[in-house]
Amino acid sequence: MSGTLRTLPWGSGGLGTQDHQRDMYLPALRGHPGFTVVEAAAGDLTAAIAETGAQVVCVCAPPAERADRIVEALRAGCHVLADKPMAPDLAGAERVAAAARETGLVCMPAHHHRFGAAVQAARAALAAGRIGLPWNVQADFLVDGGDPCPQGELVNFGLYPVDVVLALTGQAVERVHALPGRDPARSTLLLLDHAHGLTSTITVGRLHGTAGAPGMALHRYRISGSGGVMDVDAARPGAAVRTASGTRSAWHGPGTVGRMLTALHTAIVTGRPPEAGPGDALAALRVTGAAARSLTLGTPVPLDPSEA
């Protein structure tokens, strides 16, 4: 398979008021030379795939039915880009992972922050041993303003920094201790014990907002190792652009979603394993699920290492 891939967007459901299909994926797909967006009149997914000859489906079905639609697309012979979360629970994510294995097709969860230029550079530097063996990661993922997620910001944002820490270090999480922030609905502190003695601390949430400056407030990682310390500002390279209508962030070059689409296209046309797959979504979901249980119980929650 080569060239431009016929891509069918399916669904516009998300957490709270989110519509990642309309606001994030469709603009990026239309601007990427590797994809051609196709539209269908059919009302069900299998018929829409047959109608358009789609090779890729971008699934943003409502979370409760998302896993079903991903599996349906895979079984119809299409590669999939799956909105985050790939499934609302582990059972759904495991069904998706099984279908991807059986079909051999690419199923990429939209954990796009791992594709940021700064994160990718840090990942390469860590793999090259630039700071020796990493023993601690401190991370902040804080969004300024916007619509609060009804299910809480741990469910909404938690997968992103957890996935980045796992991608950076490659060390599975063995125990999760979650503590509520000052406003529990908006922020959570995650204390993670990883394999081989690595620990990480992740602050994730949404701020009440600064007038005229919505968007990412902090997205950074400080990684301490046996041979030094690495600071990663994942919100760079970027710039704050102030206009008459307000302030927005702008990227120099492709943003994280565009870089994710390039990785998806490369995996499909070359047959090489994708940089992110259902197993990564499962690993991150296990951590955020354990964090939710930890918040309820008030104690650390161990994870079964056999599931990592």
With 60 as the cut, is the pLDDT of residue 212 above it?
no
Cα separation, 256 vs 275, whole angstroms: 13
Q: What is the pLDDT of residue 210?
A: 65
3-state secondary structure of 88: coil
Smallest Cα–Cα separation from 93: which of 237, 230, 281, 303? 281
Q: What is the pLDDT of residue 239?
A: 65
140-167 residue pLDDT tens: 999 988 888 888 899 999 999 999 999 9
Rg (C-alpha) for the chain, rounded Å, is: 19
Least confident of 57-66, 124-133, 212-221: 212-221
Other beta carbons within 10 Å of 34: 18
With 60 as the cut, is the pLDDT of residue 211 above it?
no
Cβ(55)–Cβ(23) below 8 Å: no
The residue to which tokens 């401190």 are assigned:
138
| Mean pLDDT (the chain, rounded) | 92
Q: Read off the pLDDT band of 48 (50, 70, 90).
A: very high
Q: What is the pLDDT of residue 83?
A: 97
Q: What is the mean pLDDT of residues 216-233?
A: 94
Q: What is the pLDDT of residue 213?
A: 59
80-118 residue pLDDT tens: 999 999 999 999 999 999 999 999 999 999 999 999 999
Q: What is the mean pLDDT of residues 244-262?
A: 78
Q: What is the pLDDT of residue 307?
A: 62
Cβ(181)–Cβ(200) below 8 Å: no
114-139 residue pLDDT tens: 999 999 999 999 999 999 999 999 99
For residue 237, the 8-state DSSP code is S
The alpha carbon torsion through 276, 114, 140, 194 (nearest 10 deg) reads: 40
Cα separation, 95 vs 192, whole angstroms: 26
Helix (H) / strand (E) containing 73: helix 63-75
Q: What is the pLDDT of residue 240?
A: 66
With 70 as the cut, is the pLDDT of residue 11 above it?
yes
* Percentage of residues in the chain having pLDDT higher than 90: 79
What are the φ and ψ backbone dihedral angles of 229, each rounded to 5 degrees? Answer: -130, 140
Cβ(135)–Cβ(199) below 8 Å: yes
Tokens of 87: 């499934």
Q: What is the mean pLDDT of residues 283-292?
A: 96
